Structure 1
């Protein structure tokens, strides 16, 4: 039994019964005991007394997901925290880590971090953490004040999507920013596409008159990712800053990360759920702009390479890169004119369990890739990331309820479209708990805006 002391397992508020999935094993017919929002015991056999018992026998009790990459405010007047965290609660995501590229405001100083945290405290239904970034003309000057305001990591980009909202950080400035971030013990995450090569390839494909679904992948060949990754990891080596690639769609990238790790460097790499689920031949060809993502969804053969790396332990964490663009920004016949990114918060847990089941991999991988590893990476493991005594009781219950995914039917998404529409999911969330409070009951999201809290990392002597 995982417990702190005998008196800790008396007078519990809530007891959950079912197959408890930890990072190293599954406790069949186990239980999780909760008091004052925290886990106080995990085990099997005789159960502690509790005011309330929820029996989920036959279902899986897993740690709530920490989605490492969410864009709640990418389109002004569109989604926001109230809707993104509603989708999160319905999908078993109990903490969202929100990106700093908001429409109309780059989150690049202490004031903007505090303002965004305050907005999240008013609107979020589940807990949230925040990324900060640096303006290319300012460089690392504001890093310290953003750390003081509570950011859990910093995000940069080697590709310039937009000069103000999503700017490219040139190599010399990236180096300076990494060096400053390293002083605070946080990681630097980077969007990994080589700007010059992508821009040249786009012009080449346009000149050839190719604008259909093939255009996006052709304009961003694999080397555009790996060239950028070499820059990112070498910058980490030179500065001593933990270097993180926030999404990688090609197998070669995972080989690179593993090689740096073997050399003793603190590198990490993230795989988005769409790279494990979708492929170019089947899904991009059918969905067009609704499957446009940066970096692109790759051919099926590359998808299988990613699963091989996952099974080998070369994937650090899995995220959604969630963004709910309005449908008019995803349906232009000219692939180049569509916005990049897709919603995924409601589906991430179910999609990952589907993939693990189909490949004979244990569900313990989900506990590591969706919870423990992100918590460690963002320095949130003092509260988040595991079904463990002393941690927040952030939990999702996944039941075997096969059926096709329908993004519009649930009512928990601000958009009615999804690249995962119609995919048959063997497991569904039937309950989500944040700090021991049920926020989703399998049908309805119960948490109101303002239920979520801002989670900051431990720093320095606190860690």
Structure 2
């Protein structure tokens, strides 16, 4: 007699199993299969809906703007979007997560707020060098984030190549991954100056100021540093197909290189969406022309995309509506719709939802060394299950009630899949309409052997 059995169409990282079931005991998956389900204290029948592994979003910014969402809202949006674990970035407004003490403090504060599970990235302050990396790893950092571009000298600093090499070596000794924001600082700054001198202020300005070559150069630098130091190197957002070609080439040479496609690079394009949305579609690196979008999809099908993320951040609307494109904050909210967006694109392209199980769950768990508890549907792992039903519906940010942001680049988009339920460690945290989990239900998850 199991605690709980869910029935529906089970999606593993290898197959789609119709007439399937998942048995859950003590919050973990005990068995799964097809046909007649086993007996349980409670059985929940989801018909033909997909039973997918809960997503692990590898790139979330909960605290980029003070007074905004914090973990209270990011994890609420996550639960509603079928995301059961978020990996939060270390660049909090006024609080850089660059020491073990800072990481432990953030973990305590997030633990009081989180409705789903969370992992935490660490980083460095440039003047500290790599000296705090070992202690942050012991405190439970899931990975370490750096940037080749200086967004802000304190909150989001550039790490020059020599220092980045030293940090990579330190991260490698901890057995973790180094994730890097991939834009060439000098080239971007030169192009920003040129765009400003030419007086270009409309939607075109952002893409022109951050050309594809600036991204390719930074990506090459990151992977060469990985080759030299033996570090697992992860490019945290690639908007150009050349990035995926580079990652695949280094992998063929035997290096542990990985690469991330944010959902906006798979669903939005410059000539249609950026032209229409302006500042609400300003993201770094920029959303590219449709030819790049299709190129990324070709790499996804070929297996050259490691993970898919949101790079979620809920800037207040006034920071996204300046008519001068370059004056807007960069980033967009999408936690609540990542699974519906990705499943809709997969089905429209006649691709299997198995890809969602791999890119939204299994591979992120591997990236963060969490596979003993998290990832695709497997015996012994946490019963983090997302139920998605086929349904045509239109996304309305305000109507959902589960997003702090009052805007979205996906506002008004018709989707083919809706999240019908989300389970975290066997407990239902979203029922298709309401988020049921209270703040504090989420747990801090750390890499195997750490924390």
TM-score bracket, shorter-length normalisation: over 0.9
Report the equivalent of 1:100: 90
The answer to whether the aligner puts 1:146 opposite 2:133 as a matched pair is no
Q: C-alpha separation between the residues in 1 aligned to 2:307 and 2:219?
A: 17
Residue of structure 2 equivalent to 1:226: 216
Counterpart in the other structure of 1:369: 359
How many angstroms apart in 2 are the aligned matches of 1:143 and 1:289? 36
- Which residue of structure 2 aligns with residue 316 of structure 1? 306
Partner deviation per Cα, 1:201-247 (whole Å, 9 max, x = no partner): 00000000001100000000000101001110000000000111000
The secondary structure found in structure 2 opposite 1:393 is coil
1:15 is the counterpart of 2:1: no
Is the counterpart of residue 443 in structure 1 residue 442 in structure 2? no
Quick one: distance in 2 between partners of 1:120 and 1:38? 23
- Give the C-alpha shift of residue 360 in structure 1: 1.0
**Paired residue for 1:82, among 38, 62, 72?**
72
Query: Are the aligned partners of 2:12 and 2:52 in contact in 1 as well (CA < 8 Å)?
Result: yes
Residue 229 of structure 2 corresponds to 239
Where structure 2 has 5 or more consecutive residues not aligned to the other structure, the ranges are none
Q: How does 1:320-359 map to 2 (within 5 A)?
A: 320-359=310-349
2:55/2:361 contact within 8 Å kept: yes
Instruction: Tell me the equivalent position of 1:5.
Output: none
- Of 244, 247, 256, which residue of structure 2 is paired with 1:257? 247
1:287 aligns with 2:277: yes
When normalised by structure 1's length, the TM-score is: 0.97
451-460 or 352-361: which moved more? 451-460
- Output the CA distance in 2 between the equivalents of 1:213 and 1:189: 29
CA distance in 2, matches of 1:49, 1:130: 38
How far is 1:338 from its partner? 0.4
- Which residue number corresponds to residue 130 of structure 1? 120
Distance 1:105 1:247 in 2: 23
Partner of 2:266: 276
Q: Is the 8 A contact 1:90 1:429 kept in 2?
A: yes
The question of 1:27 aligning with 2:17 is answered yes
User: Does the CA-based 8 Å contact 1:400-1:428 persist in structure 2?
Assistant: yes
Identify the residue that residue 432 of structure 1 maps to in structure 2: 422
Which residue does 2:378 correspond to in 1? 388
CA distance in 2, matches of 1:442, 1:19: 17
- Aligned residue in 1 for 2:37: 47
* Residue 44 (structure 1) shift: 1.1
Conservation of the 8 A alpha-carbon contact between 1:184 and 1:459: no
Tell me the distance in 1 between the aligned counterparts of 2:273 and 2:291. Answer: 14
Alignment-derived partner of residue 3 in structure 1: none
Deviation of residue 407 (structure 1)?
Answer: 1.1
* CA-CA distance at 1:459 after TM superposition: 2.9
Residue matched to 1:4? none
Question: What SS does the corresponding residue of 1:125 show, helix, strand or coil?
Answer: coil
Alignment check: 8 A CA contact 1:139 1:173 kept: yes
* Offset from partner CA, 1:148-188 (integer Å, 9 cap, x none): 11001000000000000000001110000000000011010
**8 Å contact 1:98–1:131 — kept in the other structure?**
yes
Question: C-alpha deviations, 1:332-359, integer Å up to 9, x for none?
Answer: 0001110000001001000000111111
Match of 1:37 in 2: 27
Secondary structure of 1:252's match? helix
**2:7, 2:37 within 8 Å by CA — same for their partners in 1?**
no
Count of matched residue pairs: 451
Using the alignment, how far apart are the partners of 1:178 and 1:261 within structure 2? 17
Question: Cα RMSD over matched residues?
Answer: 0.9
Give the Cα separation in 2 of the matches to 1:255 and 1:149. Answer: 35
Q: What CA distance in whole angstroms lies between the structure 2 residues aligned with 1:328 and 1:45?
A: 53
